[in-house]
């Protein structure tokens, strides 16, 4: 029994295939003409990104500190050590104003970003410090750690409340294995700043 299906003539088939070919070529040309757009025009070398943010309406100064396995200590005091890099020392609302064509423009963002640019296996220690308070209020700080390669993946998120000026907290310690994977995490505290408390190794 012959199933009922629509038959087309050879000319229609040729026309259809030609159109399909042109469509494919057009699609390929679009991909090669605009290869960067899908990456958001961002291209940098990093293995991990540590992002620290606090509310835009809290003009207090929070600092991130990171120690790598070689005991290099990153902070606003030393923003480029080993393979650690701090993008900027966000000081609350102090450095949120820029002059654009002579006009003062406020860009309210409270964020510090640390990149780990290469894998060194061993222990990393991440601290937050409430450096300068103008509100005299506690500051809720969100910290996110993302693994960049082979694709962006969040490996840790936490919210830490810093109560008073000079408070310093160890958010976490994490161990990277030789493949650059997070092997373990703990929260044993350690102080990096000079504001008091006992140092635990
Ligand atoms: Ca800061
Ligand atoms: Ca800011």
Q: Domain-by-domain residue ranges, the chain? A: 10-36, 48-186
Alpha carbons 164 and 129: distance in angstroms, whole number = 10
CB atoms under 10 Å from CB of 114, counted, come to 24
Neighbours of 166 (CB within 10 A): 16
Instruction: State in Å: Cα 63 to ligand 1 middle.
Output: 4
Tokens linked to 100? 């654009």
Q: What is the pLDDT of residues 12-37, one digit of tens each?
A: 677 667 776 766 666 555 445 544 33
Query: Residue range 69-98: average pLDDT?
Result: 93
Ligand 1 centre from 52 Cα, in Å? 10
Q: How far is the CA of 40 from the centre of ligand 2 (A)?
A: 23
Helices (H), the chain: 10-33
The whole-number pLDDT of residue 101 equals 86
| Alpha-carbon span 152 to 135, nearest angstrom | 35
Arch. (CATH architecture) of 48-186:
Sandwich (2.60)
């Amino acid at each position: 029994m012959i199933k009922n299906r629509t038959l087309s003539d050879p000319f229609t088939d040729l026309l259809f295939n030609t159109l399909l070919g042109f469509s494919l070529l057009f699609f390929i040309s679009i991909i090669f003409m605009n290869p960067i757009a899908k990456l958001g025009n961002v291209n940098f070398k990093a293995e991990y990104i540590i992002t620290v943010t606090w509310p835009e309406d809290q003009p207090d100064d929070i600092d991130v500190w990171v120690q790598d396995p070689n005991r290099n200590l990153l902070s606003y005091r030393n923003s480029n050590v080993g393979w650690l890099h701090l993008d900027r020392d966000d000081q609350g609302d102090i450095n949120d104003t820029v002059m654009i064509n002579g006009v003062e423009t406020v860009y309210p963002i409270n964020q510090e970003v640390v990149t780990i640019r290469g894998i060194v296996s061993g222990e990393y220690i991440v601290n937050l410090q409430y450096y300068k308070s103008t509100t005299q209020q506690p500051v809720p700080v969100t910290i996110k750690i993302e693994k960049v390669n082979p694709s962006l993946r969040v490996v840790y998120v936490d919210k830490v409340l810093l109560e008073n000026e000079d408070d310093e907290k160890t958010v976490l310690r994490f161990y990277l294995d030789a493949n650059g994977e997070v092997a373990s995490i703990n929260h044993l505290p350690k102080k990096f700043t000079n504001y008091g408390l006992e140092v635990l190794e």
